[in-house]
Amino acid sequence: MAARVVTVAFQGVEARRVEVEVQFTSGEPKFILVGLGDKAVTESRERVRAAFAGLGLALPSRRIIANLAPADLPKEGSHYDLPIALAVMAGMGVIPPDALADWAAMGELSLDGRIVQVAGALPAAVAAGALGLGLICPEASGAEAAWAGDTRILAAPSLIALVNHFRGTQLLSPPTPGPMLEGERVPDLREVKGQENAKRALEIAAAGGHNLLFVGPPGSGKSMMAARLPGLLPPLTAEELLETSMIHSVAGLIARGQLTRARPFRSPHHSASMAALTGGGLKAKPGEVSLAHNGVLFLDELPEFGTQALDSLRQPLETGEVVVARANAHVRYPARVQLVAAMNPCRCGHGGAGRGACGRAPRCQMDYQGRISGPLMDRIDLQVEVPPVTPADLALPAPPEGTAEAAARVGRARALQVARAASDASGAAALNAQADGDFLDKIADLDAPARALLARAAETGGLTARGWTRTLRLARTIADLEGSDSVRRVHVAEALIYRRVAPAASLSGSLLAAR
């Protein structure tokens, strides 16, 4: 009769049930592991053998067959060590076979029998709870797994500790969840002098979850303002916290079980590959756009990113998820992010006017900004020119309003959006940046002057269908910041201002003059 232990296989953030079956048969003494495992899984045999030796146990002189079922589901990672070892122990009678019936297990074994921390403890605990099972995990993963709520967690430092627990000689205490962190201190918006237009755009972006692009010369404060965006955003809700933490758990980014309600802020270097941005690699790990789920993805020096890498963001920005296609599976990761990007007007930095002006303007600007595809640019709601900071700006006293005041307005605007979405029977997305269809038409019902202005802009400004929709969303957010029930002409006018920067346009005005 085979001994069985439940474990999980990860497909994205989904943890699927896997049964480890171990049976001793007659024949040449050999340890055989089957079930479509990768290299790390097949190496489990030697880690289990060495861990048993460290405990003074010897494998039976029989043929041992360990099957990971279902056999057609790919298995990756070292967390299968512990369930394989427990199933073998149950087959040998070291652990009572029925003691493992109500548990799933995961963990890597060291050669001396210690149980080593592995990634994915939180989604594994959630999946175990959904199956009506508890989870046996490494002691170092216990604080993380304990966040799964009512799921029973057994966090063991070693194999011998588990043996003693199940034999009743030394019971293990259940772990407690790790601390909830508030996040790092975010610099205050009051420290930014001048740039009132850019700060207004930052507040609008925070209020509605809109994508934002800053375009300006070096030293104008683009990255400085982007770094202050997290301070304007409200903390994660309980649902968002679970979603985000499960992604970070699979990526191995949760240390000592510490979760944080601060929204993620990811800022990858412009040398990042397509797999690094959207996910992939040998084990289809989540990319930066998924690690920023429910938060902000900041891309500095936007045109310096690879064209293929940037275009790979188009689908996640539209659908809110990433699909990593493999020959034998499609792995899905959530990727609902707010994109914030910054760029210089040209490769030289300053564009075609002012101090340090480019001598190749406007051609240099057209070539440089042309690296960003039109469809990607069309997904950015606010495109803002950031002029150079002058000595007069620096001499100004600190502005009267900072992050706290702006965050309060953002919080009120977001509360209006959440209330509208909750009252709608269609299950619409909460933030204006994701509103669409009939729901968008209902919440952004323009008065006659506003509709006439938007229609004229579409005719004369080449506004695409996506641009029309995103202008409506932006106007609705501007109205929410003012506490206005209706979207008026002034709101549409301001929304259209933020769509005037185009990849081939000269921010300094030299290109317009050349035309």
pLDDT tens digit sequence for 425-445: 777 788 999 998 899 999 998
What is the pLDDT confidence band of residue 354, given thresholds at 50, 70 and 90? low
The CATH H-level (homologous superfamily) assignment of domain 189-497 is P-loop containing nucleotide triphosphate hydrolases (3.40.50.300)
Distance CA 348, CA 356 (A): 8
pLDDT band at 355 (very low <50, low <70, confident <90, very high): low
pLDDT of residue 163: 95
- Within the chain, all domains assigned CATH 3.40.50.300 are found at 189-497
Gap between the Cα atoms of 310 and 299, Å rounded: 10
Residue 328 has pLDDT above 80, yes or no: no
In order of 81, 164, 328, the CA distances from 89 in angstroms are 12, 13, 33
Residue 511 pLDDT greater than 70, yes or no:
no
The one-letter code for the residue type at 464 is T
pLDDT digits (tens, 9 = 90+) for 114-168: 999 999 999 999 999 999 999 999 999 999 999 999 999 999 999 999 999 999 9
Burial class (CB in 10 A: 0-12, 13-18, 19+), 484: middle
Distances (CA, A) of 506 to 156, 197, 202, 253: 62, 18, 22, 42
Average pLDDT for 347-352: 73
Residues of the chain with CATH 3.30.230.10: 3-167
Strand partners, 37: 75
Q: Which of 128-132, 190-194, 285-289, 293-297 has the lowest mean pLDDT?
A: 190-194
The CATH number given to 3-167 is: 3.30.230.10
Report pLDDT for 70. 96
The reported pLDDT for the residue numbered 93 is 93
Whether 52 contacts 94, CB under 8 Å: no
Q: What is the pTM of this model?
A: 0.91
Q: Could you tell me the pLDDT band of residue 479, with boundaries at 50, 70 and 90?
A: very high
Q: How far apart are CA 374 and CA 76, in angstroms?
A: 39
